[in-house]
Amino acid sequence: MAIRNLIDFGDVSREDWDALYAEACRIMDAPEAYAEACKGKISCNLFYETSTRTNFSFQTAMLRLGGSVFGFANPSSSSVAKGESLKDTVKMVSGYADVIVIRHPREGAALAASLYSDVPVINAGDGSHMHPTQTTADLTTILRLHGTVDGLAVGICGDLRNGRTVHSLIKALAKFQNVRFFLISPRELALPDYMRHFMQKHNLPFVEVTGLEAVIPQLDVLYMTRIQQERFDNPLDYERNKGVYVLTNSILQRGREKLLVMHPLPRVDEIADDVDNDPRAVYFQQGRFGMFARMALLKDLAHQPRIPQRFPLSDEGPICRNPNCITQTELYLPPLTKETEAGLCCAYCDKPIHPSAP
């Protein structure tokens, strides 16, 4: 692949995705042929935030390729608890590993890590920003089970403001033709501005609605998400929105015969258990597809050459005003910006940089 790090799915070209998907399919069709594809390679999983599936999926992906894995699933068991900076941890472990997988509660943490790592970095979720490898699972599921992404009507339901899997998925679907979006959320959990600007810039047709039942008959894919309790500053805001969508068997009866019901998981209550036995419910298969997609990704990135990085340092302090941006806590980070459809933005978290930000 042309990319060295996987930080944002927007950086992945359509050609790169097609090659990755083709490799994921070859692996899932004959996994034993890949049992030594990463022999001698080691991945380091730095999970600063809780995870079940993503961490296990990356671990099993590397193990199935014949490689090894080390890392932490809880930073309190590492030197992070002693106050070690992200850059020092990353620089250190990049001396031990061939690839780093990082999940962090702060937006932009994976990009920050990549500045100091001598080996490729994979973003396994940075706050409510992005989660590109979940997207590799999502696209693989749609392509394997539907045959195509082009022309589909995709409903995305739940917490679109805080759901990082949603943001990465939209960036990926922009690479296909004529995808139509139904964005289903409470108004206060609607898509963040930087993503709405992205959709407008890429001419992605979308409607924003608050009700699921009325639109379900029009969908080819229904991507459910949970309300992200841990991202709410005010617990009352969560209380007001929790349980707002519950897909039940009776609602699903209104959906098309070939509808795919997807979910990155974990679910809380947004999909009733009585949906699980419907053949259209593919969220557990989606998890398994994700492991094969991650095998294809690790196989490529773990073989890339080691490129020693200097320590980019700054004493300017953060210019981004997003309180959840990684630049707010890792104060040495250079204040990187980029020009986007929404104007000048923080390159770490994508939030606009202007006096009235965040």
Closer Cβ to ligand NCD, 165 or 327, answer by number: 165
Closer Cβ to ligand NCD, 140 or 225, answer by number: 225
Instruction: By CB under 6 A, tell whether 265 contacts ligand NCD.
Output: yes
Instruction: By CB under 6 A, tell whether 53 contacts ligand NCD.
Output: yes
Select from 67, 155, 255, 264 the one that contacts ligand NCD (CB under 6 A).
264
Closer Cβ to ligand NCD, 53 or 202, answer by number: 53
Which of positions 178-237 make contact with ligand NCD (CB under 6 A)? 225-226, 228
Instruction: By CB under 6 A, tell whether 134 contacts ligand NCD.
Output: yes
Cα distances (angstroms) measured from residue 282 to each of 222, 279, 331: 10, 7, 43
Smallest distance from ligand NCD to CB 272, Å = 17
Instruction: By CB under 6 A, tell whether 141 contacts ligand NCD.
Output: no
Amino acid at 30: A
Closer Cβ to ligand NCD, 26 or 53, answer by number: 53
Select from 5, 165, 322, 327 the one that contacts ligand NCD (CB under 6 A).
165
Select from 104, 106, 129, 131 the one that contacts ligand NCD (CB under 6 A).
131
Amino acid at 249: N
List the one residue out of 329, 352, 328 whose CA is nearest residue 340. Answer: 352
Smallest distance from ligand NCD to CB 203, Å = 27
Q: Which two tokens stand for residue 194?
A: 């930087």
Is there a contact between 114 and 134 (Cβ–Cβ < 8 Å)? no
Smallest distance from ligand NCD to CB 51, Å = 6
Instruction: By CB under 6 A, tell whether 125 contacts ligand NCD.
Output: yes
Smallest distance from ligand NCD to CB 254, Å = 25
Closer Cβ to ligand NCD, 125 or 155, answer by number: 125
Is there a contact between 170 and 197 (Cβ–Cβ < 8 Å)? no
Residue 104: other Cβ atoms inside 10 A: 23
Residue ranges binding ligand NCD (CB under 6 A): 53-54, 125, 131, 134, 164-165, 225-226, 228, 264-265
